[in-house]
Amino acid sequence: MEMFNDDDLTNGFDPEILLSVERFEEMVKKREHYYFEADELEEIFEFYYQQGQLDQAAQVADFGVLQNPYSAAFFIKQAQLDLSRGQFDAAFNHLNQAEIFEPTSFELYLMRGNIYDLTGNPKEAVKNLKIAEGFAEDQVDIVYSALASVFINWKKYNSAIYYLQLVLNLNPEAEEALYDISYCYFQLEDVEGGISFFQAQIDKNPYSDIAWYNLAICFNRLELYEKALEAFDYALLINDKNSLAWFNKANTWINLDAFSEALNCMYKSMDLEPGNAVVLCGIGVCLEKMERIDDALGWYNRALEIDPLLSDAWYGLGVCYELLGNYPDSISNLRKAVELSPESEEYWFSLAEALERDEQTEQALDAYQHALAVDLAYFEARIQLMNLYFRLGRADAAFQLFSEGQGLHAEEADFYYRAAAVLLRHNFEQEALVQLQEALILDFDLHLDFFIYAPQALENEKILNMLDQYRNQ
């Protein structure tokens, strides 16, 4: 058995427990049989379990069963170890043995419910957790949290919110419950409901930085960025050590194109979590947006030194190299990004653009198609692919792609402006006029964007006449 070292003394354990651990290890080493009180053995078990020394914890649990064969406690400890090792059948067996001796054990039904949840049987999970609730006494908030977790995994988010609110009624400072409620409202696509909830929560507890933080996240999802910044400010006024708040405040500034402010917030977040690769990548994003490309490359690489599987950092490298005109390195890094996150339409789209600029047209076609396979409604990819088909002389494929897009973007004026620009660029003037007319009907105010997409339209008399016609309506 591996003995604990002096560093273990700093882990907050009572010195008496450490003496008990020494005595247990002495017993094992001498291969003798000492007597321990059951409570003492449970404390020794917890010492090893919290240290992650599962083999030693198992020795304690087995010895506990041997010394206390009619006690449920050590069968439950064995089940706890089984659960940690993913040995669910063994855990059920040990819990069944525990139930024989203590059929009213709160821990037994709580653990059984958690195992049923992990093994995809939510009905049995709820059934057992409801039994646990009856025996929980002053630990009922733990049961409510477990029930909420089951309902989240079951995608029954309203039920999850109900139990999470019960947790908060018992413990208003339950931070994890607040984060989970935010997640549930997001999954329900009820951001307004989330805003109402967190505003009510703030009325009850105005000094909850987590409530202010989640309110800010809700505002961000509605693109109410100024309100989000205000809520982040309150969260950070209450707790300026909230790294997540600094990080997401930075992202809010990025959404407002205020990259210098975003960078300052990213640095604050990094000061609190210097080893967080996502934050280092965020600094790279800010610098990239500020056109400090060499600096951005350095931060993306620092992020990858910490987490080589961080797809956002590979993507950032790819974007930077493309901005530098280094398409081979851009493509290499973007390929790594899509390899790690094949469900990101944005990554596929950027890879397609880089391949197209590098004249690798067939591979570019494939990448655009991948972007659309991930998200059929990604009209930027549809427009670019349509343009590439026209470039390659595949007009039938381009028109087919456009026709499919009409059903998806019937009310989006920008789609028609962009399509009209592509058609005009490839000398399909009559078709371009038809789509331009559709765009003008949907939203005339966006017509200036059309000239960005198709500057040659400024010299087209038919187009200018059409604009005059709709301007005067």
Task: Quickly state the pLDDT bin for 2 (edges 50, 70, 90).
Answer: very low
Task: Quickly state the pLDDT bin for 32 (edges 50, 70, 90).
Answer: confident
Task: Quickly state the pLDDT bin for 10 (edges 50, 70, 90).
Answer: very low
Task: Quickly state the pLDDT bin for 9 (edges 50, 70, 90).
Answer: very low
Residue with tokens 């995994």: 153
Side-chain-side CA neighbours of 260 within 13 Å: the count stands at: 0
Nearest Cα to Cα of residue 53 among 25, 16, 12: 25
**Burial class (CB within 10 angstroms; exposed 0-12, middle 13-18, buried 19+) of 28:** middle
Identify the pLDDT of residue 6: 47
Write down the pTM of the prediction.
0.81
Distance separating alpha carbons of residues 361 and 368, to the nearest angstrom: 10
Cβ atoms 36, 24 nearer than 8 A:
yes
Strands (E), 142-287: none
Cβ atoms 367, 355 nearer than 8 A:
yes
Task: Quickly state the pLDDT bin for 11 (edges 50, 70, 90).
Answer: low
**Residue-wise pLDDT tens digits, 200-227:** 999 999 999 999 999 999 999 999 999 9
Identify the pLDDT of residue 1: 45
Residues with Cβ within 8 Å of 97's Cβ and at least 6 positions away in sequence, in order, are 72, 75
Burial per residue of 123-162, b for 16 or more beta-carbon CB atoms within 10 angstroms, e otherwise = ebbbebbebbbebbeeebbbbbbbbbbbbbebeebebbbe
Long-range Cβ contacts of 325-331 (<8 Å, 24+ apart): 327/354, 327/357, 327/358, 328/358, 330/354, 331/355, 331/358, 331/360
Identify the pLDDT of residue 12: 60
Side-chain-side CA neighbours of 400 within 13 Å: the count stands at: 5
Cβ atoms 226, 255 nearer than 8 A:
no
Q: Is the pLDDT of residue 306 over 80?
A: yes
Identify the pLDDT of residue 71: 87
Averaged confidence pLDDT in the chain: 93
Q: Read off the tokens for 281.
A: 């990548």
DSSP H helices, 392-471, are 395-408, 413-425, 429-442, 447-453, 461-471
Segment 92-106 shows an average pLDDT of 94
Terminal Cα-to-Cα distance of the chain (whole angstroms): 87
Identify the pLDDT of residue 173: 85
Distance separating alpha carbons of residues 385 and 407, to the nearest angstrom: 17
Distance separating alpha carbons of residues 259 and 281, to the nearest angstrom: 14
Task: Give me the amino acid identity at 15.
Answer: P
Q: Read off the tokens for 156.
A: 């029954």
Segment 145-157 shows an average pLDDT of 97
Task: Quickly state the pLDDT bin for 400 (edges 50, 70, 90).
Answer: very high
- DSSP H or E stretch at residue 282: helix 277-289
Nearest Cα to Cα of residue 310 among 271, 347, 351: 347
Task: Quickly state the pLDDT bin for 471 (edges 50, 70, 90).
Answer: confident
Cβ atoms 203, 227 nearer than 8 A:
no
Cβ atoms 160, 177 nearer than 8 A:
no
Residue with tokens 């651990």: 21
**Residue-wise pLDDT tens digits, 155-204:** 999 999 999 999 999 998 899 999 999 999 999 999 999 999 999 999 99
Task: Quickly state the pLDDT bin for 15 (edges 50, 70, 90).
Answer: confident
DSSP summary character for residue 3: P
